[in-house]
């Protein structure tokens, strides 16, 4: 779906300009996105298998939920909305924990130029995975993995991308620390 999004500069500051998501990906405009990593109290991480129809990384086991922030939308509201849309899980704002912002730049072989600032959150899964309802245009499947998969991506085929292991290890360390307080 093509949506209107805000454009930010190379430092993540809002420029006051907007464009369609397709334009941002065509011309490489920086824009904000959200990543929400959902974990369980017994040390598992929820990953989604991206729909085969996705333009980038189709069929890859990836972040619990990720998405674009609509123009003018508050970052936290976008995170809550994306979780509800993609997996049918309601997170209350007080249970959404922001753990950082990550600058991400990649040129995909299909011509998409992803210049994004990922606003990264974590939250606990408080319902059984069987109660989650996937948005089929975005997600093919959901599965709980042991948390340490975030430290061992190279052992698993088609699960996350080894080139982002520093990012995954940061998420692992943050969740692990939270669970072991």
Reduced to 3 states, what is the DSSP secondary structure of residue 28? Answer: coil
Q: What confidence score (pLDDT) does residue 155 get?
A: 67
Between 2 and 154, residue with greater pLDDT: 2
What is the Cα–Cα distance from 60 to 58, expressed in whole angstroms? 6
- Does the pLDDT of residue 154 top 80, yes or no? no
For the domain that residue 105 is a member of, what is the CATH number? Answer: 3.90.79.10
Reduced to 3 states, what is the DSSP secondary structure of residue 77? Answer: helix
Q: What confidence score (pLDDT) does residue 35 get?
A: 98
Tens digits of per-residue pLDDT, 69-128? 999 999 999 999 999 999 999 999 999 999 999 999 999 999 999 999 999 999 999 999
What is the Cα–Cα distance from 140 to 143, expressed in whole angstroms? 10
The two tokens of residue 57 are: 């990384």
- Does the pLDDT of residue 158 top 70, yes or no? no
Q: What confidence score (pLDDT) does residue 157 get?
A: 65
The total number of structural domains in the chain stands at 1
What is the Cα–Cα distance from 138 to 53, expressed in whole angstroms? 8
| Residues spanned by the domain of 114 | 4-179
């Amino acid at each position: 779906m093509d949506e209107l999004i805000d454009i930010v500069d190379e430092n993540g500051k809002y420029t006051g300009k907007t464009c369609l998501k397709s334009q941002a990906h065509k011309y490489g405009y920086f824009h904000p996105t959200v990543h929400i990593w959902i974990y369980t109290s017994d040390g598992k991480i929820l990953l989604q298998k991206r729909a085969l129809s996705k333009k980038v990384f189709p069929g890859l086991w990836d972040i619990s939920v990720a998405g674009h922030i609509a123009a003018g939308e508050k970052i936290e509201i976008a995170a809550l909305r994306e979780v509800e849309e993609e997996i049918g899980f309601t997170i209350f704002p007080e249970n959404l924990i922001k753990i950082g912002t990550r600058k991400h730049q990649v040129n995909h072989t299909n011509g998409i130029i992803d210049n994004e600032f990922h606003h990264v959150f974590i939250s606990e899964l408080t319902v059984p995975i069987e109660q989650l309802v996937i948005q089929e245009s975005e997600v093919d499947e959901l599965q709980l993995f042991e948390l340490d998969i975030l430290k061992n991506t190279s052992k698993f085929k088609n699960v996350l991308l080894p080139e982002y292991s520093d990012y995954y290890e940061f998420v692992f360390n943050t969740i692990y620390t939270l669970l072991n307080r």
